[in-house]
Amino acid sequence: MIYCGIDWAEKTHDVALVDDTGQLLAKRHITDDATGYKILLDLLTEYGDSEDNPIPVAIETSRGLLVAVLRTGSRQVFAINPMAAARYRDRHSVSRKKSDPGDALVLANILRTDMHAHRPLPNDSDLARAVAVLARAQQDATWNRQQISNQLRSLLREFYPSAAAAASGWQNGLCRPEMRELLRAAPTPTRAAKLTRAQLQAALKRAGRQRGIEAEAERLREIFRAEWAHQPPLVEDALGKQMLALLTQLEAACAAADQLAEAVEEVFPKHPDAEIILSFPGLGLQLGARVLAEIGDDRTRFADARGLKAYAGASPITRASGKKSSITRRWVKNDRLNHAGYLWAFASLTASPGAKAHYRRRRDQGDWHAAAQRNLFNRMIGQLYYCLQHGQLFDETAAFPSTAEALAA
């Protein structure tokens, strides 16, 4: 057996090949372009890489063009956690010296000695990987939108409390197009107090509102013309300009999140697993796409449901030493899948009688809200694993039989 390790960087990469005795067979320094990729593939072919007998490769990333080139064919690519690679480095040098060629050699030796303890990248379909790109980008855009919205809200509290009060009456507050249009029309509380009913109604119409315009304009007029504390005029104008700059960022973030959401809604339903995932209570297009993005469609990725539960951080972990033992929640997990699971469990409470009954039973047994939802997520993701493996849709009576019997009685 021959093993390959690649220490990647932004512009160049170091490659090392070792045999099963640990002997260094070859090393190269390649560039991050098509020429460098060809040199790497030719080097692997020179040492026996083929479709029937591919050389496994270890690298400290799971993304990028280099990984895409390596994943062609049946070659196994192992994404080694950099923290794990740092621990292995101490086995080869007690002086803690570090070099890029040395790291490539360490990665190759990780596969030589402990390949069974590391997972190769899943063999997901191109459609599943496309869904993963869009779903993760939409999730990042949503988080970015919320972060900028929080910054804007904090700034408004410093000089424009009437705007914060007006936004509190709407769902999604500052992210709504009506609020963004009002802030653009009146960037300071002094200018907001001078807005007439006609101007407020025109702003609401420009934002796309069609119903209740007169009543909403009257509510906003009363809020803006109420008694509020003010900053000095010069300071207020300066803060207004700062607010407009943040507002521009918020509008861009809202547009990006909406565009990516539309792209997810277009691509995700085309996947064969979408029907099964969407049959589960609490999973819609966006949240279902996030779940598919993290678990993929490689049926051999997880040996059983326990592996998927541990990967999602839903199942507890037991730490035992001597006579002491503790059961706690997992800290090492897929954070994106765990976050989607929290939202999934929360949404399922109103969509599934069985899920609600399970949650209430856990609360009655003494669990806090988060622990009860995590336990519900642990159960439902195990059911999702079973349904995906057997090609079955979610069945409420099979998922929660005791609840179904109680409702029937």
Higher pLDDT, 193 or 94: 193
Per domain, the residue ranges of the chain are 2-117, 131-265, 275-408
Q: What is the predicted pLDDT for the residue at 95?
A: 67
- The pLDDT mean for the chain works out to 91
pLDDT tens-digit map of 23-62: 999 999 999 999 999 999 999 999 988 888 999 999 999 8
pLDDT computed for residue 260 by the predictor:
96
pLDDT in tens, 249-299: 999 999 999 999 999 999 999 999 999 999 999 999 999 999 999 999 999
Q: Which CATH superfamily is domain 2-117 in?
A: ATPase, nucleotide binding domain (3.30.420.40)
Residues 6+ apart with CB under 8 A from 141: 253, 256, 257, 260
- Residues 104-161 have pLDDT tens digits of 999 999 999 999 988 899 999 999 999 999 999 999 999 999 999 999 999 999 999 9
pTM higher than the cut 0.75: yes
Q: Any bridge partners for residue 2, and if so which?
A: 19
- The answer to whether the beta carbons of residues 322 and 354 sit under 8 Å apart is no
Q: Where are the alpha helices (DSSP H) in 207-328?
A: 213-224, 233-267, 274-278, 285-295, 305-312
Q: CA 139, CA 130: separation in Å to the nearest integer? A: 14
Q: In this predicted model, what pLDDT tens digit does every residue of 186-242 receive, in sequence order?
A: 999 999 999 999 999 999 999 998 999 999 999 999 999 999 989 999 999 999 999
Q: Are 119 and 130 in contact (CB under 8 A)?
A: no
Task: State the pLDDT at residue 407.
Answer: 56
What are the tokens at 347?
């949404």
CA dihedral (237, 239, 240, 246) in degrees, to 10, reads 160
What pLDDT is attached to residue 156?
Answer: 94
